[in-house]
Chains A and B, each alone.
Chain A
Amino acid sequence: MKFKLGIREIVAMGIGTALFVVLTTVQIPVFLIPNTFLQPRMAVLAFFSAAFGPIVGAVIGILGHALGDAIYYSSVWWSWVFPEAVVGLCLGLFAKQFEVREGGFAVTRNVILFNVIQIIGNAIAWCVMAPLLDILVYSEPANKVFAQGTVAFVLNIVVIGFLGTVLLVAYSKIAGRQSGLKAED
């Protein structure tokens, strides 16, 4: 599989990152575990990865998270930046199958594939990678970071599963339509 980086992908990276950064503040706090939120921006990441491929997904994940953290919180939590890229990368690898921009996403097979991939990607990112990086880089207590990681895993699956899927289906239906005309018999 080859993924070309055309002009459209370059622009998508830029504008996708901008969207991701802006949506950083749109989050619904979960009061049990501090600094963990239900983040609609994950749905945006999933959308752009599935529509434009793995490079776009990974770049939006890294750049968007780092810039968003820097602009709004001014302290970049690096151990959570790279897992974000993993989610984008995983979903992007299957962009060819999803056919989002050609209008082929709105079938059961792709919706199921999308959700399986996003659960696997999120599991690698938040249950394994983020806590391990937290312990390696910041020496935080293990039970705290695994608790945070697991909560993030569940929340991200919920956000991507509902919001991400609906976004992709809706967009795919509109994008693939050649015209609104129907043949009459």
Chain B
Amino acid sequence: MARILSYEKKNTFVHRLSGFTKLLFLILWCFAGAMTFETRILVVMLLIGAGVYYVADIKWKQVSSVFIAIMIFMTLNLVAIFFFAPYQGCEIYDSRTAICHLFGNYYLTKEQLFYEFNVCIKYFTVIPSVFVFLTTTDPSELASSLNGVGVPYSIAYSVEIALRYIPDVQDEYTRIKNAQQARGIEMSAKGSLLKRIKNTSLIIFPLIFSSMEKIEVVSNAMELRGFGKKPKRTWYSKRPLTSIDLYVISFITLFCIATMIITFADGNRFFNPFR
């Protein structure tokens, strides 16, 4: 199973920020990155993202396997866009400058290259922010700060349970898979499609049944300790918003608004260098 991104305790500027600030930053950042096709803004975002990544002191080792996986997906997606719509770029930028003829109906155009460059750079604006968020945010601190800003604590708590139980469920998955393989069930890519579906279900069955048991146990324990009896609760890991948090929050809010204004100022989401 692939190595996943997980929290690592450190003491940097980014680690000291409240979990809520980082979550808000991530959401607004991804939103801005998804909405805009303004190349200049995307480049600025790329630079800021790289800066934050550097400040957060993330080791390449922590993220390399995930990064390589994303690169493969991105390449596949870019190639697919070209084959499905070789002139998407021409339509968007309303011009056509052919560079060379490839085969059949396919011409390589400057517009298409520029459009796919934008799609590609959009990946790179979002990736560092997600890396930073996942490796610098303590799950229980995130739950308490979510509650601190008005999310009902029941929802905050289920987010925390999810983050808490991901490693457990993963262990259990590996255990069940090993047990099934010991019984001689083929799990690799060698089997046929139908066989693989059937064999996958042999893992999912015990996994779901044991999870349902776990739900019973955990919810009984929580009930015994009086969870949910009062409209409010306190947290061990509560961290109040500091002035630095407020600066970061106002920065990202302003940045997001500015991005929207610049992007939609000319009634079009795209930056057009071909005009």
Report chain A residues within 8 Å CB of B203. Answer: 26
Counting CB contacts under 8 A, is A181 at the interface?
Answer: no
Check A18–B161 contact: CB distance below 8 A.
yes
Of the 9-residue stretches A90-98, A111-119, A124-132, A159-167, which lies at the interface with chain B? A159-167
Q: Smallest CB–CB gap between B176 and chain A, Å?
A: 11
Report chain A residues within 8 Å CB of B81. Answer: 140-141, 144
Counting CB contacts under 8 A, is B126 at the interface?
Answer: yes
Counting CB contacts under 8 A, is B47 at the interface?
Answer: no
- Docked complex: B166-221 residues within 8 A CB-CB of A: 166, 168-170, 173, 193, 196-197, 200-201, 203-205, 207-209, 211-212, 214-216, 218-219
Considering the complex, give the chain A residue whose CB is closest to the CB of B172.
Answer: A22
Check B154–A10 contact: CB distance below 8 A.
yes
Considering the complex, give the chain B residue whose CB is closest to the CB of A34.
Answer: B76
Bound-state CA distance A74–B85 (Å) is: 26
Check A11–B84 contact: CB distance below 8 A.
no
Bound-state CA distance A22–B84 (Å) is: 32
**Cβ 8 A contact of A22, one of B73, B131, B169:** B169
Counting CB contacts under 8 A, is B80 at the interface?
Answer: yes
Check B162–A21 contact: CB distance below 8 A.
yes
Contact mask for chain A residues 57-93; partner B; CB cutoff 8 A; 1 contact, 0 none: 0010001100100111111101000000000000000
Check B193–A166 contact: CB distance below 8 A.
no
**Cβ 8 A contact of A18, one of B85, B168, B197, B228:** B168
Contact mask for chain A residues 127-165; partner B; CB cutoff 8 A; 1 contact, 0 none: 000000000011111011001000000000001001100
Report chain A residues within 8 Å CB of B216. Answer: 8
Bound-state CA distance A147–B84 (Å) is: 10
**Cβ 8 A contact of A166, one of B122, B201, B214, B227:** B201
Report chain A residues within 8 Å CB of B169. Answer: 15, 18-19, 21-22
Check B200–A75 contact: CB distance below 8 A.
no
Interface of B is mostly: helix
Report chain B residues within 8 Å CB of A26. Answer: 173, 200, 203
Q: Knowing A8-B215, A63-B159, A167-B204 touch, does A137 contact B166 (C-beta < 8 A)?
A: no
Of the 9-residue stretches B9-17, B29-37, B232-240, which lies at the interface with chain A? B29-37
Q: Knowing A147-B84, A167-B205, A171-B209 touch, does A72 contact B158 (C-beta < 8 A)?
A: no
Considering the complex, give the chain A residue whose CB is closest to the CB of B166.
Answer: A18
Counting CB contacts under 8 A, is A123 at the interface?
Answer: no
- Docked complex: A28-74 residues within 8 A CB-CB of B: 28, 33-35, 38, 40, 43-44, 47, 59, 63-64, 67, 70-74
What are the nearest 8 A-B pairs in CB distance?
A14-B161, A141-B85, A144-B84, A17-B162, A13-B158, A18-B165, A34-B76, A14-B158
| Complex A-B: 10 CB contacts under 8 Å | A11-B215, A15-B169, A25-B1, A34-B77, A63-B162, A70-B130, A76-B126, A137-B34, A141-B84, A141-B88
Q: List chain B positions with a Cβ less than 8 A from chain A.
A: 1-2, 4-5, 30, 34-35, 37, 63, 66-67, 69-70, 73, 76-77, 79-81, 84-85, 88, 92, 119, 122-123, 126-127, 130-131, 133-134, 154-155, 157-166, 168-170, 173, 193, 196-197, 200-201, 203-205, 207-209, 211-212, 214-216, 218-219, 222-223, 227-228, 269-270
Q: A19-B211, A22-B169 are in contact. List 10 more A-B contacts (CB 8 A).
A: A8-B216, A13-B161, A26-B203, A34-B77, A44-B204, A47-B208, A70-B134, A74-B130, A139-B269, A174-B209
